[in-house]
Amino acid sequence: MAVINRPGQPPLWKRRSTVQDLLVWLGWLAAVALTVACFQFISERTIWAFVWDAPRQGADLVGRMFPPAWGYADQLWKPLWDTINIATLGTALAVLLGVPLAFLAAHNTTPSVVFVRPLALFIIVASRSINSLIWALILVIILGPGVLAGILAIALRSLGFIGKLLYEAIEEIDRTQVEALESTGANPAQVLSWAIVPQVMPAFAGITVFRWDINIREATVLGLVGAGGIGMQLEASINTLAWPQVTTIFLLILATVAVSEWLSARVRHAII
Partner 1 sequence: MAEPLLVLTGLTKRYPTGDLALDGVDLAVPRGQVMALIGPSGAGKSTLIRCVNRLVEPTAGSVRLEGQELTRLSRAALRRARRRMGMIFQEYALVERLSVMENVLSGRLGYVGFWQAWFRRFPRRDIEQAFRLLDRVGLAHMADKRADALSGGQRQRVGILRALMQEPALLLVDEPTASLDPKTSRQIMRLIVELCEERGLAAIINIHDVGLAQEFARRIVGLRAGRIVFDGPPEALDAAVLTAIYGEEDWSRTIRRSDQEEDMAEAAA
Partner 2 sequence: MSATTFDAAAAARRWRPPPLIASPLLRYAVYLGALAYALLALGSIEVNWTRAAEGLDRAAAFLSGFFPPDFVTKWEDIQEGLLESVTMTIVSTAAGILLSLPIALGAARNLAPLPVYLFCRAIIAISRTFQEVIIAIIFVAMVGFGPLAGMLTLAFATLGFMAKLLAEDIEDIERAQAEAVRATGAGWFSWIAWSVLPQVKPRLIGLSAYRLDINFRESAVLGLVGAGGIGDTLNTAFDRYEFGTAAAVLLIIIAIVLACEYASGMIRRWVQ
Q: How far is CA 5 from CA 15, 22, 265, in A?
A: 14, 20, 56
Q: Is 172 in the site for partner 1 (CB under 8 A)?
A: no
Strand partners, 2: 14
The amino acid at residue 177 is: Q
Closest CA to 149 of 77, 208, 90: 90
12 Ramachandran zone, left/alpha/beta (phi>0; psi -120 to 50): beta
Q: How far is CA 121 from CA 109, 130, 155, in A?
A: 13, 15, 17
Of 141, 190, 251, 266, the residue at the interface with partner 1 (CB under 8 A) is: 190
E strands, the chain, are: 2-4, 12-14
| Shortest spacing between CB 114 and partner 1, in angstroms | 18
Candidate ranges 16-24, 181-189, 192-200, 246-254; the one touching partner 2 (CB under 8 A): 246-254
Of 83, 220, 245, 264, the residue at the interface with partner 2 (CB under 8 A) is: 220
Contact positions with partner 2 (CB under 8 A) in 131-160: 131, 133-134, 137-138, 141-144, 146-148, 151
Number of other CB atoms surrounding residue 140 within 10 Å = 20
* Residue with Cβ nearer partner 2 (69 or 224): 224
| Shortest spacing between CB 9 and partner 2, in angstroms | 26
Q: Is 176 in the site for partner 1 (CB under 8 A)?
A: yes
Strand partners, 13: 3
Q: Is 194 in the site for partner 2 (CB under 8 A)?
A: no
Please report, as ranges, the residues that interact with partner 2 according to CB under 8 A.
31, 34-35, 38-39, 41-43, 45-47, 50-51, 54, 57-58, 61, 81-82, 85, 88-89, 125-126, 128-131, 133-134, 137-138, 141-144, 146-148, 151, 217-218, 220-221, 224-225, 234, 238, 250, 253-254, 257-258
